[in-house]
Amino acid sequence: MSTLIKNIHILTMDEEKTTYPDGYILIEGSDISSIGHMKDLPEKVKATEVIDGKQAIAMPGMINTHTHIGMIPFRSLGDDYPDRLRRFLFPLENECMTESLAYHSGKYAIAEMQLAGVTTFMDMYYFEDAVAKATDEMGSRAILGETVIDFPTCDTTEAYGGLDYARQFIPKWLNHELITPAIAPHATNTNSPEKLKEAARLAEYYQVPITMHVAEMDYEMAYFQEQNNLTPVGFLADIGILSERLVAAHCIHLSDEDIHILKKYNVKVAHCIGANTKSAKGVARVADLLKSEIPVGLGTDGPSSGNTLDLFTQMKLFANFHKTNLKDRAAFPAVEIVERATMGGAKVLGLEDKVGSLEIGKKADIVLVETDSVNMFPIFDPYAALVYSANASNVQDVFINGQRKVKQKQLNQENLKDLRRNLSEQMAAFATSAKKRL
Ligand SMILES: [Zn+2]
């Protein structure tokens, strides 16, 4: 199976930021086998399928480095309540979250991401085996981590049951082509030091990633300050679990010393600007992290924290907040923000040899963003068009691992109406209970 996409404006996002304003991409199997200017397209190229891109912008599939895709049912519930986490999220999860609900939520969330040009994501949730099944069926690329937390949850009867769950889950999915299993301790202050070390040992044993919420909450900062005069990052260094395996989500509250420590242990950061500012928690020191050459990718956080799973929204919010924070409109030019959503995310997830840029030999995770819509004219700078003008509804075609997942703005292999109906049916008990808490 081979697909030729022609007449496209290609932003490769490779090291040199090579572009082909009138270019082509040839996909063979799961890989990009050729890419270049239309004028250099070999005459004898034979492709099973030929797509005329009609001057769409071709970019690498976007990478969402932090989310909880089982949480679609929570979207728009209690958004403006100060105690949302403990009033809605934790109790409703324990009462109403089921394996089937996580599975159907997962499928719906992946559809939403595919339609928005997100081809890879990192997830932390419960029933992660059902989330993996959903991911496998939808054909997205993902790193999936079972949550470990210090109380019994919807999928375990004991505190820290996620550790045993992960012992089954990780080996089961270890050799999947698109899925990498992981382990996900919930946060620095919702796990004991012993259990955090156990999770890190498990990740080490299976050579898989570990992800955790770090330095996100004010009370998390106060807790470690009072306990041992440390920051959460200092605490993690102290108990010896920082490593290049760790994807630390949020990292809103960092000292200079914290940044030094993150760099020393090659920790990566998932930056969730939309969720962090909607909840009034703060803006992470991304400019300083990047200055220290710490990989930073973009994340939406769960659909109840960020309300959308698309990275166009995150790119725009990233620009607005960081430019304002730095009082410098020239800070973070659009090309650097597109890099955060693509190659930056790939480096955070350790997938930079496979995805993150459009290059020969890399996996064909490709997004075509149409330029016909009213908001996409004129285009003097394609990077600026993606960051400041475009939105998820401009995504026209999406390929993951060479498979066409979105065709002319519609799911190509699934029916969105069916996915929504299935989720809605599973949500009945959840919705009844949720309404009582409002
Ligand atoms: Zn999160």
- Best CA proximity match to 120, nearest among 76, 165, 177: 177
Pair of tokens at residue 98: 């089921």
Q: For residue 296, report the distance from its CA to the centre of ligand 1, in Å.
A: 16
Distances 318 to 64, 325, 342, 352 between C-alpha atoms, Å: 14, 10, 14, 22
- CA–CA separation, 43 vs 433, rounded Å? 62
Domains delineated in the chain: 2-60+363-407 (2.30.40.10), 62-348 (3.20.20.140)
Q: For residue 316, report the distance from its CA to the centre of ligand 1, in Å.
A: 20
Q: For residue 187, report the distance from its CA to the centre of ligand 1, in Å.
A: 9
DSSP for 233-276?
HHHHHHTT--STTEEEEE--S--HHHHHHHHHTT-EEEE-HHHH
The position carrying tokens 């004898």 is: 44
How many CB atoms are closer than 10 A to CB 244? Answer: 12
Distances 280 to 106, 125, 320, 346 between C-alpha atoms, Å: 27, 23, 15, 28
**pLDDT attached to residue 11:** 99
Q: For residue 213, report the distance from its CA to the centre of ligand 1, in Å.
A: 6
Report yes or no: 302 and 68 within 8 Å, Cβ to Cβ: yes
Q: For residue 277, report the distance from its CA to the centre of ligand 1, in Å.
A: 13
pTM confidence score? 0.98
Q: For residue 38, report the distance from its CA to the centre of ligand 1, in Å.
A: 43
Q: For residue 362, report the distance from its CA to the centre of ligand 1, in Å.
A: 29
Q: For residue 313, report the distance from its CA to the centre of ligand 1, in Å.
A: 17
Residues having C-beta closer than 5 Å to ion ligand 1: 301
Enumerate long-range contacts of 11-16, CB under 8 Å, 24 or more apart: 11/57, 11/58, 11/59, 11/338, 11/358, 11/382, 11/383, 11/386, 12/60, 12/357, 12/358, 12/359, 13/59, 13/60, 13/338, 13/339, 13/342, 13/343, 13/356, 13/357, 13/358, 14/357, 14/358, 14/359
Q: Is 287 left (phi over 0), alpha (psi -120 to 50) or beta?
A: alpha
**pLDDT attached to residue 186:** 97
Three-class DSSP category at 184: strand
Q: For residue 124, report the distance from its CA to the centre of ligand 1, in Å.
A: 7
Q: For residue 51, report the distance from its CA to the centre of ligand 1, in Å.
A: 38
Q: For residue 184, report the distance from its CA to the centre of ligand 1, in Å.
A: 10
- Best CA proximity match to 296, nearest among 352, 247, 353, 335: 247
Q: For residue 281, report the distance from its CA to the centre of ligand 1, in Å.
A: 13
**pLDDT attached to residue 43:** 86
Report yes or no: 310 and 118 within 8 Å, Cβ to Cβ: yes
Distance from the first to the final alpha carbon of the chain: 52
Q: For residue 401, report the distance from its CA to the centre of ligand 1, in Å.
A: 26
Q: For residue 314, report the distance from its CA to the centre of ligand 1, in Å.
A: 15
Q: For residue 308, report the distance from its CA to the centre of ligand 1, in Å.
A: 13
Three-class DSSP category at 383: helix
- CA–CA separation, 250 vs 216, rounded Å? 6
**pLDDT attached to residue 46:** 87
Which residues have CB under 8 Å from 80's CB, separation 6+?
Answer: none
Backbone angles phi, psi at 7, to 5 degrees: 60, 55
Half-sphere exposure of 423 (CA within 13 A, CB side): 24
Q: For residue 6, report the distance from its CA to the centre of ligand 1, in Å.
A: 39
Q: For residue 243, report the distance from its CA to the centre of ligand 1, in Å.
A: 20
Q: For residue 67, report the distance from its CA to the centre of ligand 1, in Å.
A: 6
Pair of tokens at residue 423: 């989720």
Q: For residue 412, report the distance from its CA to the centre of ligand 1, in Å.
A: 29
pLDDT along the chain (438 residues), means of 10: 97 98 98 97 91 98 98 95 90 95 98 98 98 98 98 95 98 98 97 98 98 96 93 97 98 98 98 96 98 98 94 98 98 98 98 98 98 98 98 98 98 97 96 93
